[in-house]
Structure 1
Amino acid sequence: MRIIHTSDWHLGRTFHGVELLDDQMAALSHLAAVVAEESADVVVVAGDVYDRSVPSADAVRVYDRGLAEIAAAGAQIVITSGNHDSPTRLGSGSGFASAGGLHLRTSIEEIDEPVVLGDEFGEVAIYGIPYLEPETARRHLGVDDARTHTEVLRAAMDRVRADLTTRSTRSVVAAHAFVVGALASGSERSISVGGVETVGAETFSGIDYVALGHLHSPQQLGEAVRYSGSLLPYSFGERSDHKSVWVVDLDADGVADVRARELPMVRGLSSLAGTLDELLTDESLSQVEDHYVEAVLTDPVRPVDAMRRLRERFPHAVHVRWDRPHLGGGLDYRARVHGRTDAEIIAAFVTDVRDAPTARERALVDRAVRAVVGEPESDGGSGGELTLFEIEPDVAESA
């Protein structure tokens, strides 16, 4: 039997406010192509199908189209739920769906009720363990004193192993958890609520293959305990990841082979740094013009309308930050303001967040300080009344 292990689709997720549904549909089409090319029998999805418990209508449509393409490629599908999913919503219609080759395992009551499929060597029992919130799961699992993920997952696995003693089958477990020794990428939501969130890999002992979900980078904790990672990168920290799925071959004795099958990149991610003019004119950046881009601007003066100008060259720029070069010797704040007047400190602040204030702005600051401390205004200076509305727009925004 050939199994494709995937997880963490996060359908409906946005990336710095940008909708990703088109990218996610493309990734699911790539997955279906892999299923067809590998002649896979089963696709196992280890949780976080959706990005939120109440997915949008568009996210549900992408899910439906993706499943249809995978099924048309020739595979049955086994899905369990993650911490982002609603087990009830994701598992709706599970009894009816199983007749068409879609097997949904999202409830605690079904943990020891595997999907049983066959090949030339006999049967394979595929168990789905949804994300288990300790406070809720402990009562259903009969371990009222449990407080951690390890305790409730151990109880769930005890049920799985007890069921296996009644069968002469090879076994696969799909689970959504944070296993000790694995590395988070930064785009995952913590699953710790009042207790230790990690569990030991030994919790899954006795299983031929463990298909894990939750962490977004593909990795292995043992020959038969692995994370597939997400279909797409969901943070700039994942920009160097090679997104993939695991292709798992089972023979009569269990796992015969496991190999990674990389997925095509839908759209690259790039982190750029430099002045705005450098980023707009550097010819070496032509190869990333179609990427999702985050930019750190190092101009000495905050550029005006930076995102709009960046998007003229990088239409998928999603985040920009100004990191003004620091001047001086790094004195602490007390040393920096020692011996300076209030007006001088305010002028330095305006310089730090924008650029040096004009003479009219300095006069306004001086007048405001005098008004606060009760000192009389001098007749000299700028001449005429100044109001806040005469400050340049950037100053008002900075304030």
Structure 2
Amino acid sequence: MTVRITRRNFVRTAGAVAAMAAAPAVVRAQAERKSIKVGWAISKTGPFTGGANASQIPNYRLWVDDVNKAGGINMGGKKLPIEVVEYDDRSQSEELVRAVDRLVSQDKVDFLLPPWGTGMNMAVAPAFHRGNFPMIAPSFITDRMPELVKRWDNIFSLLQPATPYGEAIVGVLKDLRTAGKIGNKVAVVNVTDQFGLELSKAARAALAKEKFEIVYDAGYPIATQDLTPIIAAAQQKNPDVFLAFSYPPDTFALTDAARVRGFNPKVFYAGVGTALAIYPAKFGDAIEGVMGPGGWNPHSQAITDYTARHKALTGTLPDHWVSALCYSGLQALQQSIEKVGKVDRPAIIKVLNSTTFDTITGPLTFKNHIMTGSWLVGQWQGGVFHGVAPNQEGVKPVIAKPVWKA
């Protein structure tokens, strides 16, 4: 029998042959894989170093150490160790974008881990999406998240959008005012980048709704060295409450200036940076009662064990907010990879969005790509930055007292 070879038949046959040839190659590639390559570019120098070095870099390294000591990530019945490629973005978004491009195009990483900070995450979100890299962000706070996840369905946030943080601290203030523990006057300051602008905007709206009086309102550029004038101007207004939406260097500078000048509002709220372990190390018992975004409930065996491993590997304690969430997000990533059984990033993204994961902070679920159940307000009480809002398991009652005084 004679078979007529048409162009259509030829293309169809060639495609089938190619598919048959490719399938074993894919299987072979998975079988021959010796490691899983994970890369990150993050701030090791520059103004974002404090946050990155405290909350993300140690947890990236701890997760890799824990996984490799356990034999690796189980992929299709075979445990594969993690191989790491990392770069310093120098706290510059342009450098970060170049480094992420290098990780993808030259280093051929299987997975990317996010940078530190809202603006930096925003800068590389398009690159993560182009490569279908799951982006489980530990330090990405923006009210644009519901809009962003419609465009970039690979993003998952371990923190809430900006508005819940602003509303939560104002809710705490409202309760304190109702109890007669504070008055109505509030000073608001913020760093003038995306994080500070969004959170202060949310707080102002919530303050206006609850009829608080903003007696001082100021912004300052990132990397401002001397924040004493900000504290002095706020102090002149004699507010009951001082709210600062600040990055770690600013949080420390504002705290130091307030102590030196004897600025003693009944509520002193600053952050991010308040939850860092180096905050009490620098200021000691004087920080009793200081509030900020975040918080945690340390009373579980999983957190106790995690803290011990963190200290043993890094020589430092984890912060009391983002650190444990960062590690939990990495556990979710690992469990998603193991469930899929191969480096299939789109499939892993689907698992992340539809599964509850077992982590050191308890069951972790993403609802509309945002982790549920995270702390919004924390307060230093007895050497721990306890979660004081929202009202959930482990919550502590708020204490109100003039800060820097016994």
Superposition TM-score tier, normalisation by shorter sequence? under 0.3
Q: Which has the higher strand share?
A: 1
Higher relative contact order (CA 8 A, sep 6+): 2
Q: Which has the higher helix share?
A: 2
Give the TM-score normalised by the residue count of structure 2.
Answer: 0.28
Give the TM-score normalised by the residue count of structure 1.
Answer: 0.28
Q: Which has the larger radius of gyration?
A: 1
